[in-house]
Amino acid sequence: MLGYLLKRLIQMTLVLWVVSVIVFLMMSFTGDPVFMVVPIDASDAEIAQARRLLGLDDSLPVQYWKFLTSLLQGDFGRSYVFRQPAMTLILERMPATVELVLVAMALAIAVAIPLGVYAGANPQSRISRVIMAGSLLGISLPGFWIGMVLIYLFAVHWGIFPSSGRGDTVEIFGIRLSILTWDGWTHIVLPAVTLSLATMAIILRITRAGMMEVGRQDFMKFARAKGATRGDVLYKHGLKNALIPVVTIFGLQLGDLIAFATITETIFSWPGMGKLLIDSIYRADRPVIVVYLMLVALIFVVINFLVDVIYMLIDPRIRLK
Amino acid sequence: MTDQPLLAVRDLRTHFHTFSGTVKAVDGVSFEIGQGEVMGLVGESGGGKSVVGFSILGLIDSPGKIEAGEILLDGKNLVAASEAELRKVRGREISMVFQDPMTSLNPLHSVGRQMDEVLRLHTDLDAKARQAACVEMLESVGISRAAERLKAYPHQFSGGMRQRVVIAIALLARPRLIIADEPTTALDVTIQSQILKLMRAQIAEKGASMILITHDLAVVSEMADHITVLYCGKVVERGRTRDLINAPSHPYTRGLIDSIPDTVNRHDRLSQIPGTVPDIRNLPKGCNFRDRCPRAQALCAEVEPQLEPQHGTLSSACHFPLKPGEAA
Ligand SMILES: Nc1ncnc2c1ncn2[C@@H]1O[C@H](COP(=O)(O)OP(=O)(O)OP(=O)(O)O)[C@@H](O)[C@H]1O
Ligand SMILES: [Mg+2]
């Protein structure tokens, strides 16, 4: 077990290192950031000076070495635009994104798993067909369109929910959260629904496929032959066996949503990381983009690791290997 | 009350409505089992043996359906029972050992949890008493270090051990009838006889009855009080074990007995029944066995024979039944 964890840790470090190389190369080949820092009417001498200060006149390997060592020391540079540490900027906005994504994922699971189990257990029923047709819509309709329809209906037309911002927040341990206030909840509903629909549809379909597969297994019939209730057979015996692919997709989707909640955040003016990323790309704010990409890579790697741990918790055959 | 059998199956018809036609897997099967009796249910693969077992427990799923017939447990018709009533019968009154021990257990639940489930469903015992009962039952089916083994998962057990676990589960709630669907076919020969002996002992001890499903007449001849022979979803012969083995009246039963590689077989060389089972989706008119039957005559292609009393305790469905001492 300990050996396995160590191996995974080394793997994770390796992945992050590769990402750092890719991010560095990408940044070096896309535009010259020196013009972001110098005034428009700067002289050639001033530009050369700035370049030296930014370390841009070194050779690529030297630049990379400096880049890497400062990353390792926790120095991620300052935003050219905000003149603040890039890390601080992102960490300030991260709770908003994580909060939105977690609410969206919770919603997706709460709806998708029961419906998926039902549709998998009763593939012929009319309700199942309706569920599956609905999930197809969820997959094929683009998120931004759904977001705009929701804003039109619930914010503009009926005025039930607000359409932008986070609403009231409460600060806990230095993290600002909106899910602790009623006003915050009303603000999070529409973006969370928008963000969750596609994931909900995918998880639903995977759950259904898994349940149909498991339903054919002898041990399901044997559980019934023991006198177990339908609910126990489906959830305790069936769902657990159908869960491995669901957990896989869940992990991928979770990382995806955290990294790319951008569109939803933009539509609902949700002050999260995604919106910061878009703004930074417009302004070629290189340090912020670098930190963002590294952070997202870290999140993916960690989620992937957690998914593997969950596999082991679910399946004793994996655990004991 | 005296003469009522524990289980009476009357004219059971279980059909599967598939795309390629209706499969009459069980078509007019009747038999009775008394308290403490062992009935052998034999026939070739595809004869409908497992479907009879699943029908009794109400475990026939779409596209299958029990089209007609009665399954009377103490005179109460299970075919008409609600799902909730059936749940009280399953595991408690009637339990089943499935054909394949490798796939009957849930791979993600420990053996202990799967055993415990039966007791939680059907008894009022507390956790401690249930644990003790599980340990005792596992030991009685010949698994040592039972308390420890309860924590293990199915993949840590061999096929023979898994089948013992399945049998232990089937016996746990002390059901009155156990349907054992080829409980030993998937196991090697030495373990086969061990497990059969064990089942017989357990059943005798608890005064339970058993339906022993198998395609192996040698096995049932040792275990069963009486035997029902299925062919293409129909009963072709039934009677007390000794009569049926010594002097079968149906040529199909004769063929099954002649193909036993065993001391029961008094012929010099093993024979096998010629031909194969006809497509159950479109059975021919007349007797289903006639194409493979050495005694078939013109009448057999016209009229389907009905089950009629023969010599001794036997009944069989044949126009030209064998007499005692007569070869096929
Ligand atoms: N779910 C199903 N759908 C369609 N046909 C089925 C289904 N289950 C069983 N059958 C058919 O019912 C017939 C009887 O099957 P059954 O499993 O009872 O045979 P069996 O006597 O138990 O054979 P074996 O010795 O191989 O276990 C077969 O022709 C089979 O194809
Ligand atoms: Mg079978």
CA distance B104 to B322: 41
Q: What is the pLDDT of residues A213-267, one digit of tens each?
A: 999 999 999 999 999 999 999 999 999 999 989 999 999 899 888 877 888 998 9
Select from B224, B255, B286 the last residue of a domain. Answer: B224
**Of residues B199, B191, B104, B190, the one with CA closest to residue B154:** B104
**Which residue has the CA at smallest separation from atom 14 of ligand 1?**
B48
Q: Which residues of A touch B98 (CB under 8 A)?
A: 218, 221-222, 225
Q: What is the pLDDT of residues A37-58, one digit of tens each?
A: 677 777 888 888 877 777 777 7
In a domain, B326, yes or no: no
Q: Regarding predicted confidence, which is higher, A321 or A186?
A: A186
Are B254 and B157 in the same domain? no
**Of residues A204, A214, A209, the one with CA closest to residue A253:** A204
Residues found in chain B: 328
In a domain, B171, yes or no: yes
**Which residue has the CA at smallest separation from atom 27 of ligand 1?**
B45
What is the C-alpha R_g of chain B?
20
Mean residue pLDDT of chain A comes to: 87
The predicted pLDDT at position A320 comes to: 59
User: In chain B, whose CA is at the least distance from the CA of A225?
Assistant: B90
In a domain, B25, yes or no: yes
Q: How far is CA B61 from CA A127, A224, B13, B99, in A?
A: 19, 12, 14, 17
Are B194 and B148 in the same domain? yes
Q: What is the pLDDT of residues A279-307, one digit of tens each?
A: 888 887 888 888 888 888 999 899 988 98
Q: Regarding predicted confidence, which is higher, A167 or A207?
A: A207
The predicted pLDDT at position B267 comes to: 55
**Cβ–ligand 1 contact at B46 (below 6 Å):** yes
User: In chain A, whose CA is at the least distance from the CA of B178?
Assistant: A225
Work out the minimum CA distance from B310 to partner chain A, whole angstroms. Answer: 37
Work out the minimum CA distance from B6 to partner chain A, whole angstroms. Answer: 19
Distance B45 CA to ligand 2 centre (A): 7
**Cβ–ligand 1 contact at B234 (below 6 Å):** no
Say yes or no for a CB contact (<8 Å) between B107 and A228: no
Contact B94, B73 (CB under 8 A): yes
Q: Which residues of B touch A228 (CB under 8 A)?
A: 87, 117, 121
The predicted pLDDT at position B1 comes to: 46
User: In chain A, whose CA is at the least distance from the CA of B119?
Assistant: A226
The predicted pLDDT at position A247 comes to: 92
Q: Which residues of A touch B155 (CB under 8 A)?
A: 316-317
**Cβ–ligand 1 contact at B212 (below 6 Å):** no
The residue-averaged pLDDT of A107-119 equals 96
Phi first, then psi: give them for residue A291, nearest 5 degrees. -60, -45
Are B41 and B136 in the same domain? yes
Are B162 and B106 in the same domain? yes
Q: Which residues of B touch A230 (CB under 8 A)?
A: 83
**Cβ–ligand 1 contact at B228 (below 6 Å):** no
Say yes or no for a CB contact (<8 Å) between B59 and A221: yes
Q: Which domains does chain A have, with CATH numbers?
A: 95-293 (1.10.3720.10)
Are B120 and B241 in the same domain? no
Query: What is the amino acid identity at position A258?
Result: I
Give how far the C-alpha of residue A265 lies from the chain's centroid of Cα atoms, to the nearest Å: 12
Say yes or no for a CB contact (<8 Å) between B91 and A217: no
Are B235 and B212 in the same domain? no
Say yes or no for a CB contact (<8 Å) between B107 and A237: no
**Which residue has the CA at smallest separation from atom 7 of ligand 1?**
B16
- The size of the A-B interface in CB pairs under 8 A is 74
Are B137 and B30 in the same domain? yes
Are B128 and B37 in the same domain? yes
Q: Which residues of A touch B54 (CB under 8 A)?
A: 221
In a domain, B11, yes or no: yes
Are B219 and B275 in the same domain? no
Are B103 and B176 in the same domain? yes
In a domain, B324, yes or no: no
Provide the strand spans (E) within chain B: 7-18, 21-33, 38-42, 64-73, 76-77, 94-97, 177-181, 209-214, 226-231, 234-240, 308-309, 315-316
Are B211 and B292 in the same domain? no
In a domain, B159, yes or no: yes
CA distance B63 to B104: 22
- Count up the domains in chain B and report the number: 2
Exposure string of A214-247, with b = 16+ CB inside 10 Å and e = fewer, is bbebbbbbbbbbbbbeeebbbebbbbbbbbbebb
H or E element, residue B104: helix B101-104
CA distance A6 to B20: 56
The predicted pLDDT at position A48 comes to: 82
CA distance B30 to B37: 16
The CATH number of residue B127's host domain is 3.40.50.300
In a domain, B195, yes or no: yes
Say yes or no for a CB contact (<8 Å) between A316 and B118: no
Helices and strands in chain A: count of H runs, count of E runs: 15, 2
User: In chain A, whose CA is at the least distance from the CA of B118?
Assistant: A226
Strands B21-33 and B7-18, sheet pairing? antiparallel
Q: Which two tokens stand for residue A256?
A: 């995806």
In a domain, B328, yes or no: no
Distance B47 CA to ligand 1 centre (A): 7
Distance A210 CA to ligand 2 centre (A): 26
Give me the domain span that covers residue B300: 231-263+271-316
User: In chain A, whose CA is at the least distance from the CA of B53?
Assistant: A225
The predicted pLDDT at position B80 comes to: 94
Work out the minimum CA distance from A316 to partner chain B, whole angstroms. Answer: 6
Q: What is the pLDDT of residues A139-167, one digit of tens each?
A: 898 888 999 999 999 988 898 888 888 87
Written as tens digits, the pLDDT of chain B (328 aa) is 457 899 999 999 999 999 888 999 999 999 999 999 999 999 988 899 999 999 999 999 888 999 999 999 999 999 999 999 999 999 999 999 998 888 999 999 999 999 999 999 999 999 999 999 999 999 988 888 999 999 999 999 998 899 999 999 999 999 999 999 988 877 777 778 888 888 888 888 888 999 999 988 888 888 899 999 999 999 999 999 999 999 999 999 999 988 877 555 555 566 778 888 888 888 888 899 999 999 888 999 999 999 999 988 999 999 999 988 776 6
Please state whether the predicted TM-score (pTM) of the whole model is above 0.90.
Answer: no
Residue A309 has pLDDT above 50, yes or no: yes
Are B197 and B304 in the same domain? no
